[in-house]
Structure formats: structure tokens, C-alpha cells
């Protein structure tokens, strides 16, 4: 098989990786200047991730679809399910009511929260009182059978797309 063009797909993969990095930064934050930042980054990640496949299809008209069909059929069941899940969440985000991300708040001690620190106490010399807790957001997908952290699912989906690009015909 002839070599497949991948330049645009690789850029979309880097874009998805960028958004995944932002999602990792947002997850578990107690204070956010933009409360919807996680949702915005998730939307960007899903759009960029699925665009990897669309870019390959566009760049390799005629040859990619047949190769991709065979590639999907050869996937282990859990990877095929992951591909369908990632694509489905992207479709829900773009064409329906949004990705099925559940947000829950969890109380944590401030010293356990990533990046949390008091910049300036209300009164000099004061500290947080014993028993003080802060609330952090956690994001996950709930299938009814299992609960999967959103960032972890996105990381796995990105790994599958990395694999897709690495297995494209090179000659």
C-alpha cells in the first residue's frame, strides 16, 4: 500500500494533546476564574481528536476508508469500544446536547488540593481553621455499569489515535 499523508492529522493530534493538558490542569482545581473551562477544553479535545480521522480521510481520499475499516475490525473489543465511545461523545458534544460528562464536587482538605494555596489571609498572621475544607470538581462518564474519569478516558482515546497514526502505511 502507498504511503498515507498525515501532516494535518498530526497537527490535529497535537491540538488534542494540548487540550488534554489543559483538562489535566483543570481537573481537581478548587478555584477557577472560568467555571466552564473544563467543559470548553473537553469540547476542544473531542473536536480535535475526531478531526484526526477526518483529516486522514480528507488527505487520503480513496485509500484511507478501506484501510481504516480493516484497522477497526482488527482492534481488540475494548479498543473498538473506546473508539466508538470517543466518537460518540464528540458527536453528542457537537450535534446534540453535549458530551455526557458528569460533574461532582468533593470536599478536600486545602493542603491536598493541587495548586491550592492562600495568597493573602484576611488578617495578617491568620491561618485556615482546623477542619476547613474546600470543594473541588471531579468529571467523569457514568455508563451505569462503570464510572470512568473523563481525563482518563480522553487519555486512552488519544493513545488509540496515536496508535492509528503509527500504524498507517509508511511506504
Q: What is the pLDDT of residues 9-59, one digit of tens each?
A: 999 999 999 999 999 988 877 666 788 899 999 999 999 999 999 999 999
- Residue with the bigger pLDDT between 63 and 121: it is 63
Per-residue pLDDT, 130: 53
- Residue with the bigger pLDDT between 49 and 5: it is 49
Per-residue pLDDT, 137: 79
62 falls in which pLDDT band (50, 70, 90)?
confident
Could you give the CA distance from residue 69 to residue 125 in angstroms, rounded to a whole number?
Answer: 65
List, for residues 152-170, the tens digit of each pLDDT value: 999 999 999 999 999 998 8
Q: Are 109 and 73 in contact (CB under 8 A)?
A: no
pLDDT at 150 over 60: yes
Q: Which CATH class is domain 7-99+149-166?
A: mainly alpha
Q: Are 141 and 102 in contact (CB under 8 A)?
A: yes
Residue bearing cell 501532516: 7
Per-residue pLDDT, 23: 94
Q: Are 30 and 69 in contact (CB under 8 A)?
A: no
In the chain, the percentage of residues whose pLDDT exceeds 90 is: 50
pLDDT at 115 over 80: no
Q: What is the DSSP string of the chain?
A: -PPPP-HHHHHHHHHHHHHHHHHHHHTT-S--SSTTHHHHHHHHHHHHHHHHHHHHHHHTTTTHHHHHHHHHHTS-HHHHHHHHHHHHHHHHHHHSS----EEEEEEE-GGGSTT---SS-SSTT--PPTT--EEEEEEEEE-SS-EEEHHHHHHHHHHHHHHHHHTS---
Query: How many residues does the structure list for the chain?
Result: 171
Residue 110 to residues 113, 145, 171, Cα–Cα distance (Å)? 5, 32, 54
Amino acid at each position: 500500500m502507498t504511503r498515507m499523508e498525515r501532516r494535518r492529522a498530526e497537527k490535529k493530534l497535537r491540538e488534542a494533546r494540548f487540550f488534554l493538558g489543559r483538562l489535566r490542569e483543570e481537573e481537581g482545581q478548587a478555584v477557577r476564574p472560568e467555571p466552564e473551562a473544563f467543559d470548553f477544553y473537553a469540547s476542544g479535545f473531542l473536536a480535535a481528536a475526531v478531526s484526526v480521522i477526518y483529516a486522514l480521510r480528507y488527505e487520503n481520499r480513496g485509500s484511507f476508508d478501506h484501510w481504516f475499516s480493516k484497522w477497526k475490525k482488527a482492534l481488540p473489543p475494548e479498543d473498538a469500544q473506546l473508539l466508538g465511545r470517543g466518537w460518540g461523545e464528540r458527536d453528542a458534544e457537537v450535534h446534540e446536547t453535549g458530551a455526557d460528562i458528569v460533574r461532582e464536587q468533593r470536599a478536600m482538605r486545602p493542603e491536598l488540593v493541587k495548586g491550592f494555596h492562600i495568597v493573602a489571609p484576611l488578617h495578617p498572621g491568620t491561618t485556615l481553621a482546623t477542619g476547613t475544607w474546600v470543594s473541588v470538581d471531579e468529571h467523569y462518564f457514568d455508563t451505569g455499569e462503570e464510572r470512568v474519569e473523563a481525563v482518563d478516558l480522553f487519555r486512552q482515546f488519544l493513545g488509540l489515535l496515536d496508535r492509528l497514526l503509527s500504524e498507517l502505511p509508511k511506504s
